[in-house]
Homo-oligomer: A and B are copies of this chain.
Amino acid sequence: MSLDPAAPDSATLGSAGELAALRRIFPILPPAAAATVGPGDDGAVIAAPDGRVVISTDLLVHGPDFRLAWSSPFDLGWKGAATNLADIAAMGARPTALVVAIAAPLDTLITDLEGIARGLRDACAELAPGVGVVGGDLSASDTLTIAVTVFGDLGGVDPVLRSGARAGDVIALAGTVGRAAAGLRLLFAQGIDEDGEPDPTAAAELVARRPAAVEAQLRPTPPIAAGVAAALAGATSMLDVSDGLLLDAGRIASASGFDLDIDLHALEADRAWIAGAAPELIEVSAEIVLTDGEDHSLLATFPATATLPGAFRPIGVVRQGDGRVLVNGEDPAVRTTGWDSFVGWDGAAG
C-alpha cells in the first residue's frame, strides 16, 4: 500500500489503499467552525450551544439517485452537501457540520474522491459558510454510495415542524421550483445514447445547449439561510421541496390537518425561467413547477400577520379542510405523486 499523498492521478482506491486515499481527501475537506474535535479519533465533537441538536441523514446511491454519466464527482459532493443542508434549514436551524461516509468500487480513481471532497467543500462555502466535515468513513463496495449526515443548531428557537400550519396562514416559498426538474427531464430526454442509456457525450452536448437547467439539477442551490429567518419570523410549518411542490405541500397539509391552497399565478416566474432555460419544456412548465422536486427550496407557512423574511414570497393560503392540497382553489389536475426510488428506478447503471 502506498502512503504517498502525491500518488499519481491514475491511482485507484484498490491500488493506493484506504490510507493513501484519506491522506489526499482530508486536506480538501472543509473544517467546521463548530468542531472541537475533528476527524481522526473515534468520534468528532461539535458544539451544540442550544443544548439540542438537529440531525438529518441521506443516502446518494449510484443508479436511483445519480448517474456517473451525468454527474461529475464534484457534482455529487455538492449535491450531497446541498440537499442535506436544506433538511437542517427546513427545521429552522443553522447547519453546523457534516459527516460523510463513502463506499466506492476498488477501481474508483482517487482523483474522483478528491472531486467529491471539492464539491462538499465548495457547497458548504457557498451555501452555509462555516459548515465543515468533521468525520466519515471510506469502504469498498460494488456500488458507489455516499451517506451524508448533517447537524444543526436551533439557537434557542423551537424547531419548525410540518404539523403547525393553521387556517389563515400564508403559504410562502424561499427559492425556486422546477429548475432542477427541468434539468432532469432534459437529461432523461437528451442526455442519452441511442439505446436510451445515460451517456456522457450526449450530456456534455446538452450542458452546452442548456447550461442553466442542467446545472440546477446537478448542483442545486437551496436557500439555506432562509431557514433560520423563517423560524425567527414565526413560521408555523416548513419543509424543503424535494419531491415536488404539491406532494410536499400535501405533507404539511396532512400533518397539520388543514388544506393548502397554492396560487399557480404566484409561480409565473418559475415557469418563465423554464421557458427561458429549457424552451422545449414550455408546454409542461405548469406540471413541472407543481409536481417535480429537487430544487430544495423551503416551503413554509406563516401567520397572516407575520412579516415574511426577504427570501420568501407568498404562494397561497392555508384553509379549513381535511389535509388536502388545492391549486387555485380546486383539486389539482396533475399527478401529485413524487419520486419513489423503488418504483422509479429501472436498475440501469449508466
Report the interface size for chain A: residues with CB under 8 A from the other chain: 72
Report A243-268 CB contacts with B as 1/0, cut-off 8 Å: 00000000000000000000000000
Q: Please give the count of copies of this chain that the complex contains.
A: 2
- Decide if A63 touches B151 in the complex (CB within 8 Å): no
Residue among A61, A239, A343 with the most chain B CB within 10 A? A61
A226 within 8 A of B: no
Q: A34 CB to closest chain B CB, in angstroms?
A: 9
- Decide if A61 touches B99 in the complex (CB within 8 Å): no
- Decide if A90 touches B140 in the complex (CB within 8 Å): no
Complex CA distance for A57 and B147, rounded to whole angstroms: 9
Tell me which of B58, B61, B159, B240 contacts A45 (CB under 8 A). Answer: B159
- Tell me the chain A residues, 192-240 only, with Cβ under 8 Å from chain B: 238-240
A283 within 8 A of B: no
Could you say which residues of chain B place their CB within 8 Å of the CB of A18?
340-342
Could you say which residues of chain B place their CB within 8 Å of the CB of A88?
42-43
- Decide if A347 touches B106 in the complex (CB within 8 Å): yes
A307 within 8 A of B: no
A13 within 8 A of B: yes
- Decide if B43 touches A91 in the complex (CB within 8 Å): yes
- Tell me the chain A residues, 93-130 only, with Cβ under 8 Å from chain B: 93, 97, 99-103, 106
Q: Which chain B residue lies CB-closest to A15?
A: B342
- Decide if B41 touches A161 in the complex (CB within 8 Å): yes
- Decide if B143 touches A141 in the complex (CB within 8 Å): yes
A residues touching B (Cβ–Cβ < 8 Å)?
1, 13-14, 17-18, 36-37, 41-59, 61-65, 86-88, 90-91, 93, 97, 99-103, 106, 134-137, 139-143, 145, 147, 149-152, 154, 159, 161-162, 238-240, 340-343, 345, 347
